[in-house]
Amino acid sequence: MKKSVIAALLSLTVAFTARAQWIVYDPTMNMQQIMAQAQNIAKYIEMVNNQVQQIQTLTDQLNEFKHYEDLFGDPKSVLLATVQPLVNDLTKTELGQTLTTLETTVNAGQAMVYNANGLFHSVGTTFTTPNGQTVNRQQATYLPVAAVQKTTDNYLTVSTDAAARRVALKNEIAATTTQLKAAKTDAEVQKLTGVLIGLSAALNNTDYELNQATASALVQDVANRNDEQRQIEAQKEQQHAEFTEAIQQYGQKFRLMNAPTLFPTQ
């Protein structure tokens, strides 16, 4: 009997303990857990919002870059047809020669037969005397003339080339200006502006080449005139010395009579 009572009491105690586990509730602990979960959720939401804001900022920047690219354009995609003619003109060897080069290539024989495409008469390398004798002309006398003719031909060559280049460059400038009017992007405008500057510089360079060729001809002509005057002065000095020497020799050979002339009286 006693064992039965003890077993019953143990059973009641276990049942009461099990029932007490279902009934116990700690509001403070539960509230702390809820607040902790709420804070975690708030931090997660804040993190998501930051990421969304960063994505929006990147999207705005990308859109701004695309808008800027639409306005500025891609410089690599801008291909100009007038660039290559400019490069060809700038890399072309100038036809004009320096005065030193011209003087070292002077040919007196060419000066004798020079006629400027029929404008002048050729003097020829020889001439015939009235008695029918053929005489060769002295080439040294025609060297200054040949130098002037050489510089003149150089000027004509440069002038002809410059005139053709000026026409071509002005056409390229007109075409580039037309493209500049129709430009849609800043990159295209900048490239076209650079090409216009280069074309203008090339056009001005033709004037410099002409000026150099003109200066060579003028300087050679001045040098010829100076040498001609030098030869005249030298000839005068030589003639004066020769005349003085001749007078002295004449005085030594032919003395004047100092004694009075006596005539016969008878």
Q: What is the pLDDT of residues 77-135, one digit of tens each?
A: 667 788 888 888 888 888 888 888 988 888 888 888 888 888 888 888 888 888 888 98
For residue 141, give the amino acid letter.
Answer: T
Please give the Cα distance from 168 to 86 (Å, whole number): 10
Please give the Cα distance from 177 to 6 (Å, whole number): 116
Q: What are phi and psi of 136, to 5 degrees?
A: -80, 135
User: What pLDDT score does 263 carry?
Assistant: 60
3-12, 41-50, 166-175, range with the lowest pLDDT: 3-12
Residue 4: is its pLDDT beyond 60? no
Please give the Cα distance from 147 to 217 (Å, whole number): 9
pLDDT tier at 72 (50, 70, 90 boundaries)? Answer: low
Q: What are phi and psi of 135, to 5 degrees?
A: -120, 130
Residue 253: is its pLDDT beyond 70? no
| DSSP codes of every residue in 171-223 | HHHHHHHHHHHT--SHHHHHHHHHHHHHHHHHHHHHHHHHHHHHHHHHHHHHH
User: What pLDDT score does 110 carry?
Assistant: 85
More confident site: 207 or 75: 207
The pTM assigned to this predicted structure is 0.60
Residue 239: is its pLDDT beyond 90? no
H/E element holding 128? strand 126-128
β-bridge mates for residue 126, sequence order: 136
CB 168 within 8 A of CB 85: yes
pLDDT tier at 166 (50, 70, 90 boundaries)? Answer: very high
58-72, 115-129, 142-156, range with the lowest pLDDT: 58-72
Task: For residue 94, give the nearest of 166, 162, 13, 146 by alpha carbon.
Answer: 162
More confident site: 75 or 106: 106
User: What pLDDT score does 199 carry?
Assistant: 93
| C-alpha separations of 198 from 27, 68, 75, 185, 195 in Å | 86, 27, 18, 20, 5
pLDDT tier at 18 (50, 70, 90 boundaries)? Answer: very low
More confident site: 252 or 173: 173
CB 166 within 8 A of CB 89: no
Residue 67: is its pLDDT beyond 70? no
Winning range, highest mean pLDDT, from 89-103, 132-146, 204-218: 204-218
Q: How many Cβ atoms from other residues are within 10 Å of residue 39's Cβ?
A: 10
